[in-house]
Structure 1
Amino acid sequence: MAIGSAATILAWRARPEPGSKPLVALLVAQSWWSTCIIFKLRAPTLDAKLLWANLAWIGVVAIPVAWFLFALEYTGRDEYLQPRYVGALSVVPVLTVILALTGQYHDLLYVRPTGVELNGVVLFEQGGPWFWITAAYTYILGIFGMIPILGLLTSDAVTFRGQSAALVVGLLAPWVTNILFLAGLLPTSGVDPTPIAFSVSGIVYLAALTQFRLLGTSPAPNKRARQFLFDRMQGGAIVVDANDYVVDMNDSSVRILGVDSTDVLGAPANEIIPEYDRLPEDGALPGHLTIGDELGGHPYDVVATRITNVRGTPIGRVITFHDIGEHLRQQQRLEVLNRVLRHNIRTETNVIYGYVSRFEDDENARTVKERALRIEEIGKKGRKAIELFDKTRDRTEPKSLQSLLDRCIESTRDSYPKATIERSHPDEDVAVAGLLRPVFSNAIENAVEHNPSETPHVWITVEVEGDTVHVEVADDGPGIAEYELAVLEDGTETPLKHGSGLGLWIVKWGTDIAGGDVRFTENDPEGSVVTIEVPVLSRDAQVAPSERSD
C-alpha cells in the first residue's frame, strides 16, 4: 500500500504529462482493491464480507480500463481518449459493479456465494456467467494495452525500452497471479491473491517513475510527430498496401488529386492515381506526370518507395508527388538566359569589336576593345554558371582529378602564355565530381587574370587525405579584396554590396554543389590562396571517353 501510494503521488505530480491521469487511476484502483480485500478478511460477519467483496469490484473493473487508456495516451494514441470512447469502454465495468451490488437478487455474477464464518477468515464465491464475461473483458483490454507497449521494447532510446519493460512486468505480475488463481493452481483457500501481486507492480512502477523517468519523458510525441509530418509535408504522399489499395493519404495528395480522403481510402489505387499501372515497384515514373486539364494542369515527379516489414517482405508502397512546375519554369528561364549569353552578347560584342577596329589604334579604341572582350568573358562565365547548375540535375559521372586539373592548366596557359603555373602530383589519382572543372578553371584563371604582373605565378598543391581531396591554388598577386570576400561569406549580393564578377561565385557554388568546402585566405608575403576541399567519389580514376572530348 505504501509503495503504491508513493507511485500514485509521483504520477499525480507529473500531470499533465501523457499517461499521468490514467496511471493515477490505475494505481488508485489497485489500492482500492487491496484495501477492500483487507477489510473483507477482517470483517466480523458474512454480510460485511460480502459488502467489501462487492465494493472491491470497483477497483477490479477500473484497472483494465485505466491500463488500456494509459497505454493509448502514453504511446501517443490519445485521439481515442475522447469521452465517447471512454464511455464505451466503461459499459462492462459499470454493469459489473451494478451486478455486484445487487447480487442478492440474481446469480449473474456469483452462482453460489457461500461463507465460512468460523474465525471469520474465508469467503468463497463461485463465478456466474457475467463473472467470466468480465474476466474475458479484463484480459482483452490488458492484451490490447500491452501491444503498443511491447512495440517500444525495440525502441532506439534506452529510456523507452526501460519504461516499457517495467510496464510489462508491472502488468504481468498481477495478471499471471490472477490467472493461476482462477485456474485453481494456487493454495489460497478461495482468497484471490491478486492484490498481493500489486506490491510487485507498485515497486516496478515506482522504479519506472524514478529510474526511467516514466512520465518525465514519453514516446507520445513520436507517433503524433510522424503523422503531423506526413499530413503537413509539402509534397503529396499516398500509402498503398501490397494489394494496391489506398490505405492512407496526406492533405497535399488530397489537394493534388482533388478527392475526398473518406471516399478513396480502401479504393483501388489505379482508380485514384493517374497512370498508376506505369509506376515501377520501386523508383520514379519516367518523365513527369501532369495532373489536371491541359490549361490548369501541374507537372509532378512521381516516385514509388517500397515498404517492407522487419523480415524484408514488401507490404506496401508510398507514392509521392513533387510539384516540379517551378523547376521546369526555372529551367526554361535558364535555357533562354543561356541562349542570350551564348548568342546575343557574343554577337553584339563582335559587332562592337568590328566597328572599333576601323578606328585609329589609339588609347580609346583599345579601351573599347578591352571592354568588349570583358563583356564577352562575362557572358562566357555566365554560360558556365548555367551549365554548372544543369549538371547538378544530371549528376555527372566521377572524373579523374588529374585530368581535370591538366585541362584547366592547359586552357589557362593558352590564354596567358606568360604565366607560370606549377603543380604538385599526389601519389594517387582519384575521381571527383565532373562538375568541378569550371571550379578549378575559374580558381586558376582568377589567380592569373587579376595579377598585374607581366609574369604571374601560380602554385597548385594537391593532397588526398582519406576520402577528401585538398586542392590549393596560390598566387603572388594583389589578393582578393575584402568586400569580395564579405559578399562570398554572406552568400548573397545587394545593390550596395556586390562582387565584381562571376568567377569566385562559380568556385563557391560548384564546390558547394559537389558537397565540399572552399576557403579564401592570404598568401605570404602577398597574394591569395584558394583552398578547395571536395569528397573523393572513387579510387578508380579511369577517365570516361566522354571526358576526353569536353
Structure 2
Amino acid sequence: MLVAVVVGMTAALLAWRERQEPGAVPLTAMLAGQVWWSVFFIFEYHAPTLAEKVFYSDVQWVGVVVIPVAWLLFALEYTGRDRYVRPRYIALLSLVPAVTVVLAATNDYHDLLYLDTRLVTEGGRVVLDRVGGPWYWVITGYTYLLGLLGSIPLLGLVRSDAVPFRGQSLGLLVGTLAPWASNVLFLVGAVPVPNLDPTPVFFAVSGVAYLGAITRFRLLGTSPSANHRARRLVFERMREGAVVVDRHDYVVDMNEQAAEILDIDPRDVLGDPATEVIPRYEHLPEEGRASRHLTLGEGIQTRQYDATVTAVDDFHGRSLGGVISFHDVSDHLRRQQRLEVLNRVLRHNIRTETNLIYGNADLIDAEGDHVDAIKAGAMRIEEISDKARDVIDIFERGRQSGRSLTLSGVLEECVATLREEYPSVTVDLEIESAVDSVDASGAAVSPVLTSVVKNVVENAAEHNDAADPWVRIRATCAEETVEISVADNGPGISDHERTALERGNETPLDHGSGLGLWLIAWGAEMADGDLEIDDREGGGTVVTVRVPRLAPVEE
C-alpha cells in the first residue's frame, strides 16, 4: 500500500508539472483520487473500532467517485475530443458522484448506500463487512460505465502507426484494468480475504503503468490530441466540397464548401436521400473511385465540377457508404474555352482574310478593281487584332485586384469614344439611383467594366444599319449592385452568335464571327457579374450587364 501511495503521488506530481498539456489536469485528479482511496484504506485497515473503520470507509468515497469522472475527462482531452470537456458536462458527470459522497456522509440516517455494517474476523484480522444498498449498485454501475466510455477512444490508439501512442494507450489501459479487475473479483467474492477490497493494493500496478506511460512513452509530451480535431478540420476546411453518404445513399455529413457549392444548409438536408441533395446523383458510380462532370448553377454564374466518388469500406471489405468530392474545374474549362476561341480566330478568321488579300492581290493586274476589297480585308484583320488586344487587356485587368473606377467615369469615357468614332449614331446616357441614399455617379466598379461597356456600345453602333441609328445607355445603381443596359435599334445579334456563346464553346461548323461577344461575356464574368442579351421590342438588341459595387474609390 505504501508503494501504491508513493508511486501514485510521484505520477500525480509529474502530471501536474505538465498541466498545460491536454489531459494532464484530469490525469492528476485521477491519480490523486487513487492516492486518497489508498491512504484512507490504510487508515481503515488499522483502525481498532467500528466507528473509526466506518468513518475512514466513508471518506474513501471521495477518491472512489473522482477516479471514473477524471478517467473519462482525461480520455476525452487526450484523444482530442475536448469539446465535451466543458463545465456543464463536467457538472452532469459529477452529479451521481456528488450524491454518493452526501449519502456516505449521512449513512446513519438511511439505508440507501449500505444496508448493514459490522465487524468480522478474516485471516486473523478484524475487517469491516458492509452490505451494499440500492445506491451502492447505482454508483458501481455508473463507475464501470464511465470507465468503459473512457477506454473506447484509447482502444483506437492501440492500432496507431505511431509507436509512442501505442505504448501510451497500452500503459493507460493496463493501469486502469488492473484495479478494476481486482474490484470485479471483490464484488463476486473471489478474493483471498473476503470483505477486504484489494482494489487500492492494485493501485501500485496502476501507478507504475501510468508512471511508465509518462516517462517512457512521453504521455504528456507527445499527445495525439490534435489528431481527432485536425482530421475534422481538414474535412471542414478543405478546398474541395465533400459530402458523406451511407450505404443506403442518405447524406450523413458535409463540409462548408459542399454546402456553399450546393447552396444548402446542412442542417436541412442531413438524413435526406442523396438524390434530393446532389444533382444527377443517380448518374454517379455506385462503388469504387471515378469522376463525373457536374454543372451547377445557372447563366453566367454556372460552375463546373469534377464529382469524384470514393467508396468507404470497413476492415472486412463491407461497404459503409462513400464520399462525393467536388473539385471546381470552372476556371480550367474557361481558360480552355478562351484558348479554343482565340485558336479559332487566329487559325480561321485571320487565315481567311489573309487568303482573301492574296487572292485579290493576284487580280490587281488583271482587273484593277479589287483594291477596295484588299483594303477592307486588311481593316478586318486590324479589327480582329484590336479585339485580341482588348481580350488581353481584360485578362490583365481581371488579375489586378483591389482597383476600382467610378461608374460615371467608365460610362463617360465609353460615350466619348463612341461619339468620336461613330458621329452619325445618336448616343444617350442616363445614370440613376435605385434608392435615394446611393450616389450613382460615384459608385465604384471593376476596371474590367470599361472594356465590357466599350465593346457593347461599339457593337451596337458598328452593326446598326437603321436610317436614324441610336444607342441608349442606362445605368441603375443600387446599394450592392450596378446594372448597365445598352439598347439599340440595329438588326440584332444573329442566332449562331448566341448559340456559341450560350453553349460556352465553339465547334468548327458553328462559331461566332469574332471576339466581340466573347470579350463582353468574359469581362462580365471577371467582374463577378451577370450578362443578358435580349431582343428589343420593335427591333434591335438590349444587352444588360449586372456587376457588384466595389469599395469606394480612394482619391
Q: Which residue does 1:21 correspond to in 2?
A: 25
Answering whether residue 263 of structure 2 is matched by residue 272 of structure 1, we say no
Within the candidate set 107, 110, 113, 1:106 is matched to: 110
Q: Which residue does 2:66 correspond to in 1?
A: 62
Within the candidate set 177, 180, 185, 1:180 is matched to: 185
Within the candidate set 153, 162, 171, 1:148 is matched to: 153
Residues 108-507 of structure 1 aligned to structure 2 (within 5 Å): 108-116=112-120, 121-282=126-287, 288-294=293-299, 296-343=301-348
User: After superposition, what is the alpha-carbon deviation per residue over 1:187-218, rounded to whole angstroms, capped at 9, x for unaligned?
Assistant: 22311110010000100111111110101001
The answer to which of 24-33 and 331-340 deviates more is 331-340
Q: Which residue type is aligned with residue 30 of structure 2?
A: L
Q: Which residue type is aligned with residue 128 of structure 1?
A: G
Distance 1:23 1:350 in 2: 86
Give the C-alpha shift of residue 90 in structure 1. Answer: 1.0
- Contact 2:289 2:308 (8 Å CA) reproduced: yes
- Contact 2:115 2:133 (8 Å CA) reproduced: yes
Aligned residues: 358
- Contact 1:43 1:120 (8 Å CA) reproduced: no
Q: Which residue does 1:82 correspond to in 2?
A: 86
Q: Which residue does 2:36 correspond to in 1?
A: 32
Give the C-alpha shift of residue 354 in structure 1. Answer: 9.6
Q: Which residue type is aligned with residue 217 of structure 1?
A: T
- Contact 2:291 2:308 (8 Å CA) reproduced: no
Answering whether residue 91 of structure 2 is matched by residue 97 of structure 1, we say no
Give the C-alpha shift of residue 80 in structure 1. Answer: 0.6
Per the alignment, in what secondary structure is the counterpart of residue 131 of structure 2? coil
Call closer, same or farther: CA 1:17–1:355 in 2, change over 3 Å.
Answer: farther
- Contact 1:285 1:301 (8 Å CA) reproduced: no
Distance 1:276 1:65 in 2: 46
Give the C-alpha shift of residue 134 in structure 1. Answer: 0.9
Answering whether residue 15 of structure 2 is matched by residue 11 of structure 1, we say yes
Give the C-alpha shift of residue 144 in structure 1. Answer: 1.4
Distance 1:45 1:251 in 2: 67
Call closer, same or farther: CA 1:35–1:353 in 2, change over 3 Å.
Answer: farther
Relative to the length of structure 1, the TM-score reads: 0.61
Q: Which residue type is aligned with residue 182 of structure 1?
A: L
User: After superposition, what is the alpha-carbon deviation per residue over 1:406-442, rounded to whole angstroms, capped at 9, x for unaligned?
Assistant: xxxxxxxxxxxxxxxxxxxxxxxxxxxxxxxxxxxxx
Per the alignment, in what secondary structure is the counterpart of residue 282 of structure 1? coil
Give the C-alpha shift of residue 296 in structure 1. Answer: 3.5
Call closer, same or farther: CA 1:36–1:355 in 2, change over 3 Å.
Answer: farther
- Contact 1:42 1:120 (8 Å CA) reproduced: no
Distance 2:223 2:292 in 1: 44
- Contact 2:157 2:165 (8 Å CA) reproduced: yes
Give the C-alpha shift of residue 19 in structure 1. Answer: 0.9
- Contact 1:154 1:161 (8 Å CA) reproduced: yes
Q: Which residue type is aligned with residue 79 of structure 1?
A: R
Q: Which residue does 1:47 correspond to in 2?
A: 51
The answer to which of 10-19 and 199-208 deviates more is 10-19
Distance 1:341 1:294 in 2: 28
4+ runs of 1 displaced by more than 6 Å? 117-120, 347-358
Give the C-alpha shift of residue 313 in structure 1. Answer: 1.1
Distance 1:60 1:330 in 2: 69
- Contact 2:291 2:309 (8 Å CA) reproduced: no
Distance 2:351 2:302 in 1: 38
Q: Which residue type is aligned with residue 131 of structure 2?
A: Q
Give the C-alpha shift of residue 289 in structure 1. Answer: 2.1
* Amino-acid identity (%): 56
Call closer, same or farther: CA 1:190–1:328 in 2, change over 3 Å.
Answer: same
Distance 1:54 1:120 in 2: 20
- Contact 1:278 1:285 (8 Å CA) reproduced: no
Q: CA RMSD in A?
A: 2.5
Give the C-alpha shift of residue 166 in structure 1. Answer: 0.7
Call closer, same or farther: CA 1:286–1:47 in 2, change over 3 Å.
Answer: closer
Relative to the length of structure 2, the TM-score reads: 0.61
